Structure 1
Amino acid sequence: MSLPPGFIDELRTRLSLSQVVGRKVMWDTKKSNQGRGDMWAPCPFHQEKSASFHVDDRKGFYYCFGCHAKGDAISFVRETENVDFMEAIRILAAEAGLPMPERDPRAQEKADTRTELAEVMEQAVQHFRLNLQTAAAGPARDYLTRRGLSPEAQARWDIGFAPDQGGVLAALTAKGVPQKLVIDAGLAATSDRGGAPYDRFRGRIMFPIRDARGRAIAFGGRAMDPNAKAKYYNSPETALFDKSRTLYNVQNARTAAGRGQPLVVAEGYMDVIALSEAGFEAAVAPLGTAVTEHHLHMLWRIAPEPIVALDGDTAGLRAAMRVIDLALPLLAAGQSLRFAVMPAGLDPDDVIKGQGRDAMQAILDAAIPMVNLLWQRETEGRVFDSPERRAALDKALRDKIRLIADPSIRSHYGEAIKEMRWDLFRTRKPQNKAFTPRKAQKWNPKAQPWERDLSPVATNKRSILGAGAADESHMREAVILATLIATPAALPAFVAPLELMDCADPDHARLRDAILRCAEDADLTAHLHACVGEEAVARLLTQRDVALTSGLRKPGDLDFARRCLAESFAKLTAARALPREVSEAVEDVDAADEGLTWRLGEAVRAVAKSSQIGGENNAEIVIAENGFGMDKSERAAFDAILQALTIAKPPRGPK
């Protein structure tokens, strides 16, 4: 049975040699380098303990330094499965999900036709190369010089020229090439209205497009006329050329990537040529189409993590976003993409010409993982100042992550997105003054911030406020954290206040951060042990007051946990607002005499006493004018403070 042309190439594109060999060997993880496709294992063809069997995944060959066995994926299957050539092809096709072609008696005839077309294309390459040296090509040579391409570089890339008159159709038919072959090769066409065939490429600089075997299979033409309908024009699809399965410069890029160079995906011919001439030889570009699924498989066959370096304009960024959506379902372990963001309005050619090779190297070195660009797409330029907007962001990201087929990668993407989400909402400026974050300090209720000021007013504050409010706030923090540990299902409803809870105790701050980072469906206790240690968790949960007053009393009771959290957050807010408001009020009092100090002190102590944690509180909660929640006894004590301040300093009336 004859296989159709290109079938084996497609098979090799879809499967890496390490995938095929990996079914039969155990890789030596210390000696192997999966990122570079450099894999080592004990040889499956002879008995040994050392890892002398080498697989070069990029070149697609294996070699044993012990028994000297060598070959490719097909020969490996033939030797290990003891099958003939066609059966080995069937095994590999099934593994790659590629259907075996039907028996085709005309396969040899098709192969002969493709060979003829490839010969016609090579003749066309030489014809266009010669035309570049003619007088008619003067403007084309000047353009190439302005773009920084020397005559030597033009020769390396086989760049040519198609004149307006006396084109390739006449030249090739004069040499005896049948007119039909010239048309079938995509070099000429016939009008829909009939008439003589005409050249497809006229007045254009010609860039030959070669396949992975180095054969010329198509052309790309750059118009010299600024008013041309299409600036760039590619060959039509032919028996040789399928643009959705072809990358410009793929053969040279495969060789360079095998030497360890990063694989860079650019947008056009000139970008690829500029990158290669600057030393980035593993550069490729799609041809007149967006990146396709076939392109991604080809790229991953060459390198596990290609760098997409599209133009730094709106169209380039849109193209990058389309690549993300296409790649997500195809991700696998060690198989992803990175994105190099070009400066606004520039492409790789512009960067190299204007800023030099080092600038391009710096941009490639700074390429970001695909998950970061996905996050940027969903968040850039948007404001998340309401629960509804944040919920919409969560839904959009969940929908994208669900596209990933590999469960391990899907899990890691979820964790990475959760980290970025936490950073975004944790560092944003809070809207509620009562929860304004401050840098965490070592917990010490005897050394509160206002005690660092030795002014007379500060002395009055110290005598008024004392350390009781700080003790009570510290306990409220502990109650909140313990309740969430006892009932993790209550977390989603309290993410916002927890994010804004300013913990003075560093242990509390670390526990808070770890709880926020933990997925709702994870084992929270195990997660906390891994993040902050078992000792820190045990120290929190074994405090007597915490055990008696938090959700630890009824672990897993969602309703009880929600009531406990709602009350604790409200009291914590009120307790922290009181010192600030009293301090501000005392600042405004002209004469803070001993009587005022005594009255304020008694009032504050009443608030502290009414807020003491002493068991489940079923008192009715009253919402104050400033939005803080407190029960009736707290409200009465707080009113006493305000009354004391009013007596000391009556409101000023109009003059």
Structure 2
Amino acid sequence: MSLPPGFLDELRTRLSLGQVVGRKVMWDARKSNQGKGDLWAPCPFHHEKTASFHVDDRKGYYYCFGCHAKGDAISFVRETENVGFMEAVEILAGEAGMPMPERDPRAKEKSDRRTQLAEVMEMAVQHFRLQLKTGAAAEARAYLERRGLDGAAQDRWEIGFAPDAWQGLWDVLKAKGVEDDLILGAGLAKPSQKGGKPYDTFRGRIIFPIRDARGRCTAFGGRAMDPNDNAKYLNSPETELFDKGRSLYNHGPARTAAGKGQPLIVAEGYMDVIALAEHGFGASVAPLGTAITEHQLAMLWRIADEPIIALDGDTAGLRAAMRLIDLALPALEAGKSLRFALMPQGQDPDDLLKAQGAGALQKLLDDAMPMVKLLWQRETEGKNFDSPERKAALDKALRHKIKLIADPSIRQHYGQEIKDLRWALFRPQRAPNGRGGQGRWQPPQTAMPSTKSSALATGNDHVAVHMREAAILAALALTPEVSEEFESGLEGLTCADPDHAVLRDLILRHGYLGAEVLHEKIFSALGPEALDNLLSSRHVAIIPCIRTPGNAEMARMTVAEELAKLSAAKGLDAEIADAVQDLEGVADEGVTWRLSQAAAAAADATRSSKEDNAEYDTGDNGARISRHERDAFSALMDQIKFSKPGR
């Protein structure tokens, strides 16, 4: 069976040789540099103790300095699995998610044709380069020099020129005996719609050859000299050689430079890439006039683990970055991500290099933001989150994006980072209690006083509120997996007790990570005895979910009930405050009636007015509540409330 042209190239592009070989060997951690794709291990083909087997993951080749075995992914599978060539290809294609092509009896013929097309493209390269030296290209040369490209740079990049003639290249190729279908098949000319001779694809343009990773010219990009031309940049049409969505400008040289340790930079256009490379940033590539595709993203990750996306500092550049985020999220893997270096407003990398030099660009690259920060910026910039509904909409949008990430570990880390960013946005101000200032909460330098000496014992005016807050925090500390259901209620807790405030903040930030992680955070922030002191307090120890830790349903019921009572008590305080204010004026029966209603509400907020007629009552959330245990807790709360000094 013959494979269609380009199939093996695509297979090698999609696969990581390091992953293929890694299933058979144990990498030498001291000798290998995974970040650069430089991997060493004992050879799987002969017995040895030293790591003489070398894999160049970026180039896709291996070599053993002991037994001299060498090859690529296909040859490695053939040797290690003892299979034939086609079986090895089938194994690798399955891993890469590529369906095996149907048998093609004309594969040899197509391969020969691709070779012929590549030869025609090289003829065109030479023709365009010669044209750049002629008098007709004086304006084009002047333009390139204004852009900082002298004659030597023009030669390095093989830049050419297509005169404004309908059959300039066509006539030259025909004179060399090239057949019509090869010229048309290479995308160098288009058939006339009026029955005349085919006409050149590129006319009146500066020409940039586009080469694949193997160095073959597969297409051209042309910049119009006429400022009124509808298409400022024009690429070759897709051909048997050229697939725009699977190609990168400067692919081969960038891969080599990245292998030597340079950061991989993704710019928008040819001139940006050339300017970057001329200023020492050789590992620079560009997509070809379109947004980055899934295939191009895979190619970028084959070159480097963290490509830096250097986009223009305008609306279009930002829009392209945001689209790329949506494309990349489902494909993220451990160690594979993107960083974004956004140029100053109205500038591209070429502009920045000319204005401020390589140092300014290097600083932007060093400060490139991780993808999660740009995702957050997209969802929050220019928006107002002054209502619970708007905050909920933000949470929903971010959860939807995070769910796109297939890797569970990365998904968890994204969730934590988003929580931290959300924390900084919604809770920027801290109470002046010595526990951090503007921004996110900072752990205290020393352990806090024990809970027994906190407001639970000294705050006579708000003991009931403190007790209920303690019950809520204790229940969630033991069963943090339910904490996300009560985020809004937790954020509304006043927590006059400083220990309670810290505990509330820790549950909000780390509760979803589980009890073990949360308890470590509590021990670090409040000391090893803080949680035990809270749980052993008399008013907390009698709560059913504390006596049976880990019961999520009971914890959920307790928190919901206590939050509801706190909410009712706050409403009651507001009503009483209004009535007192009214009494300062002319008292009447209406004020007296309101005070009597407030007193009745006070009783209803702390205990049920219904007759006991069963062992369990049904709460507002549908859960079954033990009346005996609930009343025991309410009685204790009433005892504390009505036994204050002076009553």
Q: Structure 2 length as normaliser, TM-score?
A: 0.80
Q: What do residues 578-618 of structure 1 show as CA deviations (whole Å, max 9, x unaligned)?
A: 99xx9xxxxxxxxxxxxxxxxxxxxxxxxxxxx9xxxx942
The residue aligned with 1:483 is 475
CA distance in 2, matches of 1:136, 1:119: 26
Aligned equivalent of 1:121: 121
> Would you say 1:518 and 2:510 are equivalent positions?
yes
Q: Which amino acid aligns with 2:77?
A: V
Partners of 1:206 and 1:222 within 8 A in 2: yes
CA distance in 2, matches of 1:390, 1:262: 38
Q: CA deviation at 1:439?
A: 3.6
Q: 2:182 matched to which residue of 1?
A: 181
| Structure 2 CA distance for aligned equivalents of residues 402 and 467 of structure 1 | 45
Other structure's SS at 1:176 match: coil
Question: What secondary structure, in the 3-state scheme, does the structure 1 residue paired with 2:8 have?
Answer: helix
Distance 1:179 1:207, change over 3 A: same
Q: In the alignment, which residue of structure 1 is the partner of 2:285?
A: 284
How far is 1:360 from its partner?
0.7
Shift of 1:221: 0.5
Q: CA deviation at 1:564?
A: 1.8
Equivalent residue for 1:559?
557
537-546 vs 306-315, which deviates more?
A: 537-546
- Cα 1:445–1:112 shift into 2, 3 Å: closer
The aligned counterpart of 1:237 is 238
Change (3 A) 1:317 1:101: same
**Does the 8 A contact of 1:254 with 1:282 survive in 2?**
yes
Q: Say yes or no: does 1:195 pair with 2:196.
A: yes
Q: Distance in 1 between matches of 2:138 and 2:477?
A: 77
Q: Deviations over 1:488-519 (max 9, x none)?
A: 46634542353354656664444222211235
C-alpha separation in 2, matches of 1:245 and 1:569: 59
Report the CA distance between 1:473 and its aligned residue. Answer: 6.8
Task: State the identity %.
Answer: 64
* Shift, 1:150, TM fit: 1.4
Counting only pairs closer than 5 Å after superposition, residues 31-430 of structure 1 correspond to structure 2 as 31-165=31-165, 167-427=168-428
Distance 1:519-1:547 versus aligned 2 partners, 3 A rule: closer
Change (3 A) 1:111 1:414: same
Name the CA distance, whole Å, in 2 between partners of 1:329 and 1:65: 39
Q: After superposition, give the CA deviation of every residue in 1:386-422 in whole Å (9 maximum; x if it has no partner).
A: 2221221122122222222223322322222222223
- In 2, distance between residues paired with 1:62 and 1:291? 30
Partners of 1:59 and 1:469 in 2: how far apart? 73
C-alpha contact (below 8 Å) 1:253/1:282 kept by paired residues: yes
Code of the residue aligned with 1:203 in structure 2: it is G
Counterpart position of 1:527? 517
Q: What residue in structure 1 maps to residue 11 of structure 2?
A: 11
Instruction: Answer yes or no: is the 8 Å Cα contact 1:203–1:223 preserved in 2.
Output: yes
How big is each residue's C-alpha offset from its partner over 1:432-466, in whole Å with a ceiling of 9 and x where there is no partner? xxxx8334455599999xxxxxxxxxxxxxxxxx9
Question: Residues of 1 paired with 2:98 and 2:134: CA distance?
Answer: 48
Tell whether the 8 Å contact from 1:437 to 1:501 is kept in structure 2 after alignment. Answer: no
Structure 1: gaps spanning 5 or more residues: 430-435, 449-465, 583-610, 621-630, 641-655
- Structure ranking higher on relative contact order (CA contacts 8 Å, 6+ apart): 1
Where does residue 24 of structure 2 map in the other structure?
A: 24
Alpha-carbon distance between aligned partners in 1 of 2:49 and 2:332, rounded to the nearest angstrom: 33
Query: Does the Cα contact within 8 Å between 2:481 and 2:511 map onto a contact in 1?
Result: no
Could you tell me which runs of 5 or more consecutive residues in structure 2 were left unpaired when the two chains were aligned: 436-447, 581-601, 610-636
The 2-side partners of 1:569 and 1:443 are apart by 28
Distance 2:32 2:573 in 1: 59
Match of 1:544 among 528, 533, 538: 538
Provide the residue aligned with 1:618 in structure 2.
Answer: 607
Q: CA deviation at 1:31?
A: 4.3
For the residues of structure 1 that align with 2:372 and 2:517, how far apart are their CA atoms? 23
1:575 and 1:543 map into 2 onto residues whose CA distance is 27
Q: Residue 227 of structure 1: SS of its match in structure 2?
A: coil
Partner letter of residue 192 of structure 1?
Q
* Structure 1 residues 519 and 378: CA distance shift in structure 2, 3 A: farther
For 1:141 and 1:479, locate their aligned partners in 2 and report how far apart those are by CA, in whole Å: 78
Q: Which amino acid aligns with 1:19?
A: Q
Seen in structure 2, the aligned counterparts of structure 1 residues 365 and 18 have a Cα distance that, compared at 3 Å, is: same
Distance in 2 (CA, whole Å) between partners of 1:529 and 1:634 is: 29
Secondary structure at the aligned position of 2:223 is classed as strand
Counterpart code for 1:375: W
Q: Is the 8 A contact 1:440 1:504 kept in 2?
A: no
Relative distance call for 1:318 and 1:81 in structure 2 (3 A) is same
Displacement of 1:365 in angstroms is: 1.1
> 48-57 or 501-510, which moves further after superposition?
501-510
Q: Partners of 1:366 and 1:576 in 2: how far apart?
A: 50
- What secondary structure is seen at the aligned counterpart in 1 of 2:282? coil
Counterpart-to-counterpart distance in 1, 2:51 and 2:107: 42
> Could you say which residue in structure 1 is the equivalent of 2:597?
none
1:190 touches 1:196 (CA, 8 Å); kept in 2? yes
> Which residue in the other structure is 1:438 paired with?
432
1:307 CA displacement: 1.1
SS of residue in 1 equivalent to 2:350: helix
Q: In terms of mean alpha carbon deviation, does 437-446 or 274-283 score higher?
A: 437-446
Contact kept? 2:25, 2:42, Cα under 8 Å: yes
- RMSD over aligned CA atoms reads 3.6
CA distance in 2, matches of 1:160, 1:171: 15
1:279 positional shift? 0.8
Change (3 A) 1:396 1:200: same
Query: More displaced, 324-333 or 222-231?
Result: 324-333
Q: Distance in 1 between matches of 2:574 and 2:499?
A: 19
1:71, CA displacement in angstroms?
A: 2.2
- Helix, strand or coil: the match of 1:222? strand
Q: Residues of 2 paired with 1:237 and 1:194: CA distance? A: 23
Amino acid at match of 1:265: V
Equivalent residue letter for 1:388:
E
Structure 1 residues 312 and 261, CA gap change in structure 2 (3 angstroms): same
| Deviation larger for 336-345 or 353-362 | 336-345
Q: Secondary structure at the match of 2:531?
A: helix
CA deviation after TM superposition for structure 1 residue 4, in Å: 2.2
Q: Which moved more, 1:156-165 or 1:35-44?
A: 35-44
Structure 2 CA distance for partners of 1:120 and 1:420, relative to 1, 3 Å = same
Residues paired across the two proteins, number: 574
Secondary structure of the corresponding residue to residue 288 of structure 2: coil
The CA deviation at 1:195 is: 1.4
Which letter does structure 2 place at the counterpart of 1:560? Answer: T
CA distance in structure 1 between the aligned counterparts of 2:571 and 2:69, rounded to whole angstroms: 74
Aligned with 1:100: secondary structure?
Answer: coil
- 1:397 and 1:636 map into 2 onto residues whose CA distance is 47
Q: CA deviation at 1:575?
A: 9.8
**8 A contact 1:484–1:551 mirrored in 2:** no
Which residue of structure 2 lines up, in the alignment, with residue 645 of structure 1? none
Distance 1:503 1:56, change over 3 A: farther
SS of structure 2 residue aligned to 1:180: helix
Q: Distance in 2 between matches of 1:185 and 1:549?
A: 79
Q: Distance in 2 between matches of 1:20 and 1:444?
A: 56
